[in-house]
Amino acid sequence: MSESQIGQDILAACQTAAEEVGNVLTAALDRPIALEPGEATPFDENNPPDGLSGAGLAVMWISGEAGGVLLLPESTGLLPDWYAEPDATGESKLATLAQELGMNVLPEQFMPDGFRAERVADVAESLRRTEVASDAAVVELKLSSEAQQGAATLIWPVAKPAELFDASEESASSTEEPSTDDAPAEPAKPEAAGEAKQPTADGADIATVRHRLPSYSRSLLKVKVPVLVTLAATKRPIDEITRLGPGSIIQFDKACDETLDLSVANQRVAVGEAVKVGEKFGLRITSIVMPDERFETVRSRRA
């Protein structure tokens, strides 16, 4: 695909989802933000986009072998103070921002399977490390919040999206205990980027816990399982089922505003609410469902 086509496809996605992207930024950055997509232009390493200097928010997406980045400098004045050193709530908001931006501003063929968002000390240097592809496209996203105005820069594709983040922060987040497994530890996968900052119950982040697992356990994490969202369920007589046809309506005993169930491999694991992601349907998880506890009576064995 040519750089012109890549840029036009991304620009079209941004234009279609401009209002939704504005809502995503508003929720994440704690201020009302409106978005207006600018132009799509080829990336020129000898003449990089204007305004990319100093610290700022960096967002990374990985889709298969490709990746992309979005950069929002602090100089725009649109970033909240907490983003530089976010607490658990802030980290969750940044992760959600990265995920929802990827689903809205990228065309369907580039839907990300890895994502991450956090502060970098120098957005220009961070971008240089990603090795922007020769056929990359640049899309400017003009942002406004009351009297404040600025722009975010979206670039796709880059060869090394995971290199976007500061090396010092990467090394700190990848610290782990020595493995007791005979097999050598596998390097951290880019796909873990979307959950690198999500804490577990004991305070460790998920990516670190995964990396500590033996190799045979880590291999199980690559198994694909069906993920289903259930609107509602009911039982009907077979006689009624045989009379179904185009135009038939099945009524459920569930209100329209009730939560939906998320099942993985036929096991209910979470509940959430329906959201619109561009022109597609999505589910925002509101709570995790704990597995059912089973108790069995222990009887002594008589001699």
pLDDT in tens, 23-77: 999 999 999 999 999 989 999 888 878 888 899 999 999 988 889 999 999 999 9
The answer on 149 and 43 residing in a single domain is: yes
Q: Determine the pLDDT at residue 82.
A: 95
Q: Determine the pLDDT at residue 137.
A: 92
Q: Return the higher-pLDDT residue of 57 and 183.
A: 57
Q: Determine the pLDDT at residue 212.
A: 67
Number of compact structural domains in the chain: 2
Whether residue 200 is contained in a domain is answered as no
Q: Which domain holds residue 265?
A: 227-288
Q: Determine the pLDDT at residue 44.
A: 87
Whether residue 26 is contained in a domain is answered as yes
Q: Return the higher-pLDDT residue of 97 and 213.
A: 97
Whether residue 204 is contained in a domain is answered as no
The answer on 131 and 55 residing in a single domain is: yes
The answer on 236 and 157 residing in a single domain is: no
The answer on 158 and 253 residing in a single domain is: no
The answer on 104 and 18 residing in a single domain is: yes
The answer on 163 and 48 residing in a single domain is: yes
Whether residue 222 is contained in a domain is answered as no
pLDDT in tens, 247-299: 888 888 888 888 999 999 888 999 999 887 767 788 889 999 887 766 677 77
Looking up residue 145, the CATH number of its domain turns out to be 3.40.1550.10
Q: Return the higher-pLDDT residue of 206 and 94.
A: 94
Whether residue 156 is contained in a domain is answered as yes
The answer on 133 and 247 residing in a single domain is: no
Q: Which of 137, 152, 168 is the endpoint of a domain?
A: 168
Q: Residue 221: which pLDDT band, with cuts at 50, 70 and 90?
A: confident
pLDDT greater than 60 at residue 95: yes
Whether residue 79 is contained in a domain is answered as yes
pLDDT greater than 60 at residue 1: no
The answer on 107 and 30 residing in a single domain is: yes
Q: Determine the pLDDT at residue 174.
A: 38
The answer on 152 and 276 residing in a single domain is: no
The answer on 158 and 11 residing in a single domain is: yes
Q: Residue 208: which pLDDT band, with cuts at 50, 70 and 90?
A: low
- Work out the average pLDDT over 222-233: 88
Whether residue 215 is contained in a domain is answered as no
Whether residue 210 is contained in a domain is answered as no
Which residues sit opposite 287 in a β-bridge? 271
pLDDT greater than 80 at residue 80: yes
The answer on 163 and 275 residing in a single domain is: no
Q: What are phi and psi of 68, to 5 degrees?
A: -150, 170
pLDDT in tens, 103-153: 899 988 888 888 999 999 999 999 999 999 988 999 999 999 988 999 999
pLDDT greater than 90 at residue 173: no
Q: Return the higher-pLDDT residue of 188 and 273.
A: 273
The answer on 151 and 26 residing in a single domain is: yes
Looking up residue 273, the CATH number of its domain turns out to be 2.30.330.10
Q: Residue 191: which pLDDT band, with cuts at 50, 70 and 90?
A: very low
pLDDT greater than 70 at residue 184: no
Q: Determine the pLDDT at residue 284.
A: 87
